[in-house]
């Protein structure tokens, strides 16, 4: 699974606060899909697909982190 962190989003040009909000919303999305693992407060890594769904964009291959 390819994942995204707040740091990855900041490197793509998103602000620190906005990046944190994106990660938070992605975790909430994963929880609503039944993945209760994402309820952990310390977890800072979410699936790339969740971030793409929230932002409504697709990352190119060079922007992906594993």
27 close to 47: Cβ distance less than 8 angstroms: no
Q: CB neighbours (10 Å) of residue 15?
A: 10
What's the whole-model pTM score?
0.84
User: What pLDDT tens digit does each residue of the chain (66 aa) get?
Assistant: 899 999 999 999 999 999 999 999 999 999 999 999 999 999 999 999 999 999 999 987 654 454
Q: Where are the beta strands (DSSP E) in the chain?
A: 3-5, 45-47
Burial 49-64 (b: 16+ CB within 10 A, else e): bbbeebeeeebeeeee
């Amino acid at each position: 699974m390819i994942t995204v962190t707040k740091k990855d989003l900041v490197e793509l040009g998103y602000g620190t606060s906005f990046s944190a909000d994106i990660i938070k919303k992605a975790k909430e999305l994963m929880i609503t899909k039944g993945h209760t693992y994402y309820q952990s407060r310390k977890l800072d890594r979410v699936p790339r697909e969740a971030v793409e769904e929230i932002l409504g964009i697709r990352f190119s291959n060079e922007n992906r982190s594993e």
